[in-house]
Structures are given as C-alpha cells and as structure tokens.
Amino acid sequence: MNGRGDERRARDPSRPVYVISVAAELVRVHPRTLRIYEVEGLVCPARTPTNIRLYSENDIRRVLWIRHLTQNLGVNLAGVRILFELEERLGMRILETLYQNRNKDNETEAEAPEAAEAGEGSARAGR
Amino acid sequence: MNGRGDERRARDPSRPVYVISVAAELVRVHPRTLRIYEVEGLVCPARTPTNIRLYSENDIRRVLWIRHLTQNLGVNLAGVRILFELEERLGMRILETLYQNRNKDNETEAEAPEAAEAGEGSARAGR
DNA sequence: CCTTCTTGACAATGCCATTGTCATGGTTTA
DNA sequence: TAAACCATGACAATGGCATTGTCAAGAAGG
C-alpha cells in the first residue's frame, strides 16, 4: 500500500498541474492574458517536455495577486513587476502588509485576493 | 549677530519654499501635473495662510521619485500610491533597495532619480 | 481525427497620464 | 491700481497600456 507520500506530493502547491485553459478558467481570465503575463515576466509556469505550459497552485495564487493589483487597485503591470521585485529582494511578502493589522482609510473595496499570498518571491514560484 | 541658526533653518529640506510654478520648473513638469499629484494624494505641499502651495525640498524629491517611477519604470499613479503606502507602513525606504547593492539584470535605463530618496513616508513629507 | 496547445501578428476596446486651455476669483507686488 | 501669478473646476486632445479577441500554421495528445 502507498503511504501518504503520494497524496502529499499530489497536493504540493508547487506541483505543475493546470494546463493553460484550466488555469485561465480558475482565475477567470483569457488564456491570452496568461501568456502576456508570462512574456512580461510576471509568472513563469513549468513546461512539459513537449513545451506545454503547466501552472501550479503557487502560479495560480500569483496570478490572483496580479489580478487583484490590476483590477482592484488599478496598478499596471509595470507596478506589479516592481512590487514582485521588491518582495524578492526584501525576502518578505510585503503585499500582505497592506491587509494585515490595518483596515483603516476609506477604501471600501479593498479586499485581499481570493487565495491571497503569492508563491515565493521569484516568478519561478511554480517550480 | 545671527548665529548659523538662520542658515540652518534656511536649508531645512522640509521648509516650504517653492511656489508651484518654480516647483514645476524644478522637476520639469506642468503645474497642472503637480496639482493632479496632490489630488491623488501623492504629494502634499504646505500652504501659505492665503492658501498658496509651497513645496519643500522633500516635496521636490518626492515628486522626482514619482517622475522616475512613472517615466522611467512605467509605473502608473496607482502603483506609486501603493509603493509609498508600503514605505510608510514598513517604515523603510524600500524604493532605494532597487538601486543599492544590485545593478544586475538588463535594464540599461534603470537609474535612480536625480536627488533620490523621498522625504518621510507620508505625503506630508513637506511639513 | 479532433481538440488543445504553441508562437506571432494584428486589432478593437476602454481606461489612464500628461499637457493644455478657459473661466472666475483671490494674492502679491511693483 | 494694474500686471503677473495663484486657486479651483471643467473640458479636451494626445499617446500609451491592459485586456480581450481572432487568425494562421504547426505540434501534441487522447
């Protein structure tokens, strides 16, 4: 009998599992958009030996952050790039600080993204 | 005789001195743009008792950061807002980390703004 | 075989940043 | 007092970006 090792590996959030159409559905975005994010260096899904994109849970979370920043906060992709770069360079998830102890201010629409918290710092989070 | 107190106060970077036309000239921007930055909450120059805007050196530096982020890095005002908010909340000048020990990557155009380093965290830097 | 994937190109949409102007009225200063 | 500058608010033109969408030619997979 197989121990729980398989299951644990199966749930590994860094494990590449979703093909682009599925990933696009999960984050409610056009596949075109996901490809653009990749060209812009904001996400970097794994590839099968035959070059097919495979998104991990971490990739999905990362994309959800991008969507949140762009759609809810109005940040453009250049801004997202800087924020991700800062996270990587500072070695901390600075974006979360926007939603931790403080909900003050006016922003009534300010809500952390669905499954908040991007993968690691780098765009290579998926791997 | 006056000690150097006057001089020191005269050079205080938080001292409001530039009227909007002068400030606009200093940062090479239309006065209209400076007013927009203020409405957007990105800068907050002092006012004379008669409501005239007065920009300090810190305000100028802050605007130079905005210009750098928008013109050189392509970040929009929403992104600038987030970055400033993060600086304030983290209590550190995170933007400088982009230019400290590391100049790697490709970005040949990446240069810190003229008089880098914004005032304090808050938009009230000028006061 | 049929569907989905790949890259590259081209386009339409709508929003945003910046500059610019106009009008009306207050402030400063020569 | 008159000229020059400031304030606020409105309206507009410009160019650029984000997103969606499609088309084409070829590879991959069930």
Given this model, what pLDDT does residue A127 score?
A: 41
- Residues A51-74 have a mean pLDDT of 94
Cα dist from B105 to A34, A68, A82, B109, whole Å: 23, 27, 13, 11
d(CA B100, CA B102): 6
Q: Tell me the CA–C1' distance in angstroms for B108 and C14.
A: 32
Which phi and psi (to 5°) does residue B49 adopt? -55, -20
**pTM, entire model:** 0.82
Is the pLDDT reported for residue A120 higher than 60? Answer: no
Take residue A106 and report the two structure tokens written for it: 């006016």
Residues of chain B contacting residue A93, judged by C-beta atoms under 8 Å apart: none
Which is more confident, B72 or A106? B72
Chain A residue with minimum CA distance to B87: A94
Neighbours of B28 (CB within 10 A): 9
Q: Which of residues 78 through 117 in chain B touch A, CB cutoff 8 A?
A: 78-80, 82-83, 85-86, 89-90, 94, 97-98, 102
* Residues in chain B, pLDDT under 50: 3, 102-109, 115-122, 124-127
Percent helix, strand and coil across chain B, each rounded to 5?
A: 50, 5, 45
Given this model, what pLDDT does residue A103 score?
A: 45
- Residues A45-57 have a mean pLDDT of 95
Q: What average pLDDT does the structure give for chain A?
A: 80
pLDDT over 70 for what percent of chain A?
A: 71
d(CA A10, CA A25): 21
Q: How confident is the model at residue A99 (pLDDT cuts 50, 70, 90)?
A: confident
| Closest CB from B69, B89, B94 relative to A90 | B94
In sign, the C-alpha dihedral spanning A31, A121, A82, B42 is positive
The length of chain B, given as a count of residues: 127
Q: For B93-125, what is the HEC assignment?
A: CHHHHHCCCCCCCCCCCCCCCCCCCCCCCCHHH
- Residues A45-72 have a mean pLDDT of 95
Given this model, what pLDDT does residue A125 score?
A: 46
Is the pLDDT reported for residue A34 higher than 50? Answer: yes
Among A72-86, A88-102, B103-117, the least confident range: B103-117
Which phi and psi (to 5°) does residue A49 adopt? -55, -20
| Closest CB from A74, A80, A97 relative to B86 | A97
Given this model, what pLDDT does residue B98 score?
A: 84
Is the pLDDT reported for residue A105 higher than 50? Answer: no
Which is more confident, A50 or B111? A50
Cα B11 off chain centre by: 16
In terms of C-beta distances under 8 Å and separation of at least 24 residues, what long-range contacts does B3-6 make, across chains too? none
Is the pLDDT reported for residue A87 higher than 80? Answer: yes
Looking at residue A72, the DSSP 8-state letter turns out to be I
Which is more confident, A46 or B3? A46
Q: How confident is the model at residue A25 (pLDDT cuts 50, 70, 90)?
A: very high
Which is more confident, A10 or B111? A10
Given this model, what pLDDT does residue B100 score?
A: 77
Task: Give chain D positions with protein CB within 7 A.
Answer: 5-8, 10, 17-22, 27-29
